[in-house]
Amino acid sequence: MTQVESQEWDVVVVGAGGAGLRAAIEARERGLRTAVICKSLFGKAHTVMAEGGIAASMGNANAGDNWQVHFRDTLRGGKFLNQWRMAELHAKEAPERVWELETWGALFDRTADGRISQRNFGGHEYPRLAHVGDRTGLELIRTLQQKVVSLQQEDFRETGDYESRIKVFQECTVTQLLKDGAGEDARIAGAFCYERESGRFFVLRAPSVVLATGGIGKSFKVTSNSWEYTGDGHALALLAGASLINMEFVQFHPTGMVWPPSVKGILVTESVRGDGGVLRNSEGRRFMFDYVPAVFKEQYAETEAEADGWYDDPESNRRPPELLPRDEVARAINSEVKAGRGSPHGGVFLDVSTRMPAEVIKRRLPSMHHQFMELADVDITAEPMEVGPTCHYVMGGVDVESDTAAAVGVPGLFAAGEVAGGMHGSNRLGGNSLSDLLVFGRRAGRYAAEHAERLSGAARPEVSEEAVERAAAEALRPFDGGADEGDEQPENPYTLHQELQKSMNDLVGIIRREEEMEQALERLAELRRRSARLGVEGHRQFNPGWHLALDLRNMLLVSECVARAAVNRTESRGGHTRDDHPQMDREWRRANLVCTLGETARQADPAAGRIALRRREMPPIRRDLLELFEKEELAKYLTDEELSG
Amino acid sequence: MTTATESESSTGYDAHFRVWRGDVEGGGLEDFTVRVHEGEVVLDIIHRLQATQAPDLAVRWNCKAGKCGSCSAEVNGRPRLLCMTRMSVFERDETITVTPLRAFPIVRDLVTDVSFNYTKAREVPAFVPPQELAPGEYRMQQEDVSRSQEFRKCIECFLCQDTCHVVRDHEENKGAFAGPRFLMRVAELDMHPLDAAEEEGLDRRTTAQDEHGLGYCNITKCCTEVCPEGIHITDNALIPLKERAADRKYDPVVWLGNKIRRRKG
Amino acid sequence: MATGTEPPPSPGGVRNATRAAIAEPHLRKDRWWLAPGATAFGLLAFVVYSSWRALSGADYYAAPYVSPFYSPCLAESCQTMKTGPNWALFGEWWPFSPAVIILLFPLGFRLTCYYYRKAYYRGFWASPPACAVAEPHRKYTGETRFPLILQNLHRYFFYAALLVAVVLSWDTVLGFRNSAYEWGHMGVGTLVFLVNIALIWAYTLSCHSCRHIVGGRLRHFSQHPVRYRLWGWVGKLNGRHMQLAWASLLSVALADFYVYLLAVGAFTDPQLF
């Protein structure tokens, strides 16, 4: 059984979404042999779900746009909790990353003068999102996929083998990162994987591993995320000794479908609002006017007339409140529904049918039209949609160095995209995700390649046999059905998963309370205890029950991080709203909550919790960046001491 | 049969399903009776089977919103996305048959080996960027990109590849024929306003016929019929590509013109 | 996960050993045979009718109307039609009905038409009979070799069909005469001809080759705004190519049948003015 096949690569990228593929392309273009490993088929990654666009201050729609404005919007959206250096790099490099896609064959929608068209989006001061209708994510993933194929074609011409320098291991899962030792300074040496199709184990040995696994949404019941989003990268990083930051910040997208039940949570793109869609409650009122918070009062319209004027004349009108950052809109919808002014299926109405002609709707929002027609039998050109908040994105993630995307504390480990933390602070702006994938995907690929180059030849870290055996034994455990746990019945992974989702949704959801979160932690402990007895039927070949059983470990770890960090942060900010601490607290602004795996001794006791949490001060924002803001605005976020210092 | 504990169970009904189970060694259709609720799609029912009756039932799926193209299978003999096939289109007493795609090798249950498509994808030469333009200098008009944009809506569910009789009914044609999806990719690149393949000596039109098997297509339009994205594969990609190939190969005027121009050049 | 490997060359279709073991050639439960059946029946009916009419060499002219099957009439044996489209290009030696000469072109146009190809490949050759229904043939080479490779000549038949349509338009103009060849009159036959010629033009212009020639072959629409607009219009028509193919097939047969009835004296053409 310990005879596990092993292959040698220079860089291993876990995940084949936007960040993973961008990292892989970068590493391969720097001449390193790169393996990409992903749970789905190549080209199916969750990135395809992104609809709105890629935020980049190219200034095609409004010449006033530049990286400074983008940076400012990003920090405002994240309530100044962002790793400012990441936000700076992101704003500066995003245009190059978008233009580069065109040289790989991407076809964005165009302006009249032939440049890339840019659209409005919540929280962005200028029209900034490069897009293709409402299927921008698909365009991104397909472009990157085709770029990978073109590199493979190059390699084929040179070596006669398409996969000699870049190979995609599709439908494979990584269950453990392997290091060359157990000590503090142990380095990454590879990854332990299995093929979902056959259940066969294999090891990819490499000095650099890039995590690009996306988010954690599948721990919540109502989510826009696909089954893949089980927090694998977050958990792998924790288990390898890295830390996670900002895990309390989970973005609930304000507009997910609420009906029919089987599609509850599926995303309704923000461009519906960007292009003129409005939110109404059951009384027909555009309720968002009632929810503009003080910090945003100056930027948003106060009357419907002014809001409606903005679409055509943004210079002399302020923007409609429907375009407030996502956290604000999600909370507003939540309040309306709680106040009994919701739609029949527990959401609110999002209406484009009375706002633009049917033809325009079909042209500008084709996939939304399609989605509602096919899945809900609703014609959005004739009637309003019913929408409500859905778990969409986790701002928190692996604690990385801003410039290199290197995971702090684990040499050879890198993280980019949703799995990395810090970039978006407490709340991500729409459109900043795709640009984040590209900017930091490339950086992670680059620095992973440099790290691997330094460790070539004899310097390569070696995987220990023992670690491989341990990983194999762990992966096979569910087939024993927790045999060593006495005569208790084995647990069904599907049942356990449902209970986990319900607990997280109900107790650590969009509005949080201390007692509820404490209760969630208790439930998580109970679930963790039961998960030791997870049992699955059948064999290793394409066995979804087994796959879920393995993913549950990751979901439980990550959920605990979210709950623990959320209890600890006694304020409301961005994607973290406390009923018992409704105010934003400037003291909390400079604090990150850092999760690590707890002491090994505690691991033995399932009830104790596996996560250790500590508070860490953020580095002060660089002076020239602070000067991009008005003093009065900064005063809302920063402490007096920070302002004077 | 486990009765569902969900609150909506009162609105549900019991449906009869036949699902193909097995692998390359063999298999067959197995009968199931399963609870169905209002507003559900076939994929929901397959998931309910997994959760309650057949935990190791293999099915490929991902976004569950018709955007990723993973859950391709055949429902009552027709290639469909499981997530986009609403239960309400069936009679309540109807037996619903779900099988894997029948043009590709079986892996297990509803999962097939779709590597044929990835092989074909590699055989289509990639976009060739124009040498003289730096990133950021690309200028293209909307009307010039719209055609290729339609083809780029493709979610690669491979239903067109599955339904196309050229390979579905003739395994031996798989070597020579790229299939609708990848012929459409050739058309997409040939219509790309800035593709510089020709400058590099690559004629996408003749290679469509010579290397990707365009001539095998007899335009019987099943690819268009099954496309969940509603792409007009036949009318907008395959036939125009045939016409473009005819420009090159069967139009004496064009042929003569090319000859003369080449001599001059 | 075996990317990069060629599929095994073992022949066969849905019953190939590597595929899911399902004995049935298809599992469709709808009436999939209806469409190919109806298509085959319709086409067959037209073939029988048009063969009878075209080979008979008689009853194709009733002043001022000439059957569209016989226009232009290019043999010496043609009936005299005043200012009508008959030119004796083929002498007394031509043994067949004059229709045979000219019908070659519209026939060729329709035989190589992208829609009719679909219709008869499905309806007559069951290749495939319907989507996801296994076809009965052991081998399939499509349009890669002779004779089907000749389908690529569609555009030449399109050019010829344009000429024929011009002639048929002239025939329609000639229909604004009475049986004594006096201008300024109109009968029910004129209406029949008007409808027919409108459908013939619509079908001819909605052709995929036409769509290609007017604009489809361009790479940069933006540099050819007029052709782009034309391409758009033809594209709209092209979306209805199938309906137009059937409608014009029916109308041409009806126009011919109307002339036949007049020629055999079943009734006289009711005059409108």
Which chain B residues are Cβ-neighbours of A545 within 8 angstroms?
Answer: 50, 55-56
The mean pLDDT value for B92-110 works out to 96
Overall number of domains in chain C: 1
Q: What's this model's pTM, rounded to 2 decimal places?
A: 0.93
pLDDT tens track for C229-270: 999 999 999 999 999 999 999 999 999 999 999 999 999 999
Residue A532 pLDDT exceeds 60: yes
The owner of tokens 């746990």 is: A485
DSSP letters, B91-107, are: -TT-EEEEE--SSS-EE
Question: Token pair of A263, please?
Answer: 């599609």
The mean pLDDT value for C19-48 works out to 95
Q: Which residues contact A607 (CB under 8 A, 6 or more apart)?
A: A525, A529
- In chain A, the residue whose alpha carbon lies closest to the alpha carbon of C1 is A170
A contact chains, 3+ CB pairs < 8 A: B, C
In a domain, C22, yes or no: no
**pLDDT for the residue C10:** 54
In a domain, C24, yes or no: no
**pLDDT for the residue B254:** 66
Beta bridge mates, A253: A390
In one-letter notation, the amino acid at residue C172 is: T
**pLDDT for the residue A396:** 97
The reply to whether residue B20 touches residue C239, judged by beta carbons under 8 angstroms, is no
B193 interface with C at CB cutoff 8 Å: yes
CA distance A167 to chain C (A): 10
**pLDDT for the residue A376:** 84
**pLDDT for the residue A139:** 97
CA distance C90 to C74: 6
The reply to whether residue C121 touches residue B220, judged by beta carbons under 8 angstroms, is yes
Residue C117 pLDDT exceeds 90: yes
The reply to whether residue B39 touches residue A96, judged by beta carbons under 8 angstroms, is no
**Average pLDDT in chain B:** 91
The reply to whether residue B173 touches residue C9, judged by beta carbons under 8 angstroms, is no
B242 interface with C at CB cutoff 8 Å: yes
pLDDT tens track for A558-613: 999 999 999 999 999 999 999 999 999 999 999 999 999 987 655 556 667 889 99
* DSSP for residue B53: T
The owner of tokens 């469509």 is: B208
Residue A605: Cβ-neighbour burial (10 angstroms; 0-12, 13-18, 19+): exposed
C10 interface with B at CB cutoff 8 Å: yes
Residue A485: pLDDT band (50, 70, 90) is: low
CA distance A418 to A21: 14
Residue C168 pLDDT exceeds 90: yes
Residue C195: pLDDT band (50, 70, 90) is: very high
CA distance B15 to B49: 12
Which chain A residues are Cβ-neighbours of B141 within 8 angstroms?
Answer: 110, 114
Q: What is the dihedral of CA A245, A247, A249, A251, to 10 degrees?
A: 120
CA distance C215 to chain B (A): 11
Instruction: Round the CA-based radius of gyration of chain B to a whole number and report it.
Output: 23
Residue A62 pLDDT exceeds 50: yes
Residue A290 pLDDT exceeds 70: yes
Residue A484: pLDDT band (50, 70, 90) is: low
**pLDDT for the residue A199:** 93
CA distance A217 to C116: 51
**pLDDT for the residue A482:** 57
Q: What is the percentage of chain A residues whose pLDDT exceeds 90?
A: 80
CA distance B156 to B148: 15
CA distance A621 to B7: 51
In a domain, C88, yes or no: yes
In a domain, C10, yes or no: no
Q: What is the percentage of chain A residues whose pLDDT exceeds 70?
A: 97
The mean pLDDT value for A389-410 works out to 97
**pLDDT for the residue A538:** 83
The three-point CA angle A262-A263-A268 to 5° equals 170
CA distance C165 to chain B (A): 22
- Of the candidates A548, A551, A433, the one whose C-alpha atom is nearest the C-alpha of residue A493 is A548
Residue C2 pLDDT exceeds 50: no
From the list C21, C118, C128, which residue is nearest B169 (CB)? C128
**pLDDT for the residue B253:** 67
How many Cβ pairs within 8 Å bridge chains A and B?
A: 175
pLDDT tens track for B105-125: 999 999 999 999 999 999 999
Question: Token pair of A247, please?
Answer: 């895990």
Q: Which of A196, A273, A280, A530 is catalytic?
A: A273
Residue C3 pLDDT exceeds 60: no
The reply to whether residue C4 touches residue A163, judged by beta carbons under 8 angstroms, is yes
* A253 included as an active-site residue: yes
Within 13 Å and on the Cβ side, how many CA atoms surround A645? 9
The mean pLDDT value for A28-45 works out to 96
Instruction: Look up the domain containing C125 and give its range.
Output: 34-136+144-263
Question: Token pair of B236, please?
Answer: 């907008």
CA distance B52 to chain C (A): 24
Question: Token pair of C157, please?
Answer: 């038949």
CA distance A567 to A564: 5
In a domain, C1, yes or no: no
The reply to whether residue C154 touches residue B27, judged by beta carbons under 8 angstroms, is no
In a domain, C171, yes or no: yes
**pLDDT for the residue A79:** 95
CA distance A129 to A72: 16
The three-point CA angle A510-A514-A517 to 5° equals 65
The mean pLDDT value for A189-212 works out to 96
Residue A487 pLDDT exceeds 70: no
In a domain, C182, yes or no: yes
The reply to whether residue C142 touches residue B215, judged by beta carbons under 8 angstroms, is yes
pLDDT tens track for B48-70: 999 889 988 999 999 888 889 99
Which chain A residues are Cβ-neighbours of B142 within 8 angstroms?
Answer: 109-110, 117
**Average pLDDT in chain A:** 93
* A85 included as an active-site residue: no
- In chain C, the residue whose alpha carbon lies closest to the alpha carbon of B162 is C132
* DSSP for residue B32: E
CA distance A49 to C121: 39
The mean pLDDT value for A124-134 works out to 93
In a domain, C6, yes or no: no
DSSP letters, A430-487, are: TTHHHHHHHHHHHHHHHHHHHHHHHT-GGG-----HHHHHHHHHHHHHHHHTSGGGTT
Domains and CATH numbers, chain A: 255-390 (3.90.700.10)
Residue B191 pLDDT exceeds 80: yes
Which chain A residues are Cβ-neighbours of C2 within 8 angstroms?
Answer: none
CA distance B212 to chain C (A): 11
Q: What is the percentage of chain B residues whose pLDDT exceeds 90?
A: 82
Residue C135: pLDDT band (50, 70, 90) is: very high
C180 interface with A at CB cutoff 8 Å: no
Domains and CATH numbers, chain B: 7-111 (3.10.20.30), 114-264 (1.10.1060.10)
Q: Is A189 helix (H, G, I), strand (E, B) or coil?
A: strand
**pLDDT for the residue A1:** 46
**pLDDT for the residue B9:** 46
Q: Which of A46, A253, A326, A586 is catalytic?
A: A253
pLDDT tens track for B192-248: 999 999 999 999 999 999 999 999 999 999 999 999 999 999 999 999 999 999 988
The reply to whether residue A170 touches residue C1, judged by beta carbons under 8 angstroms, is yes
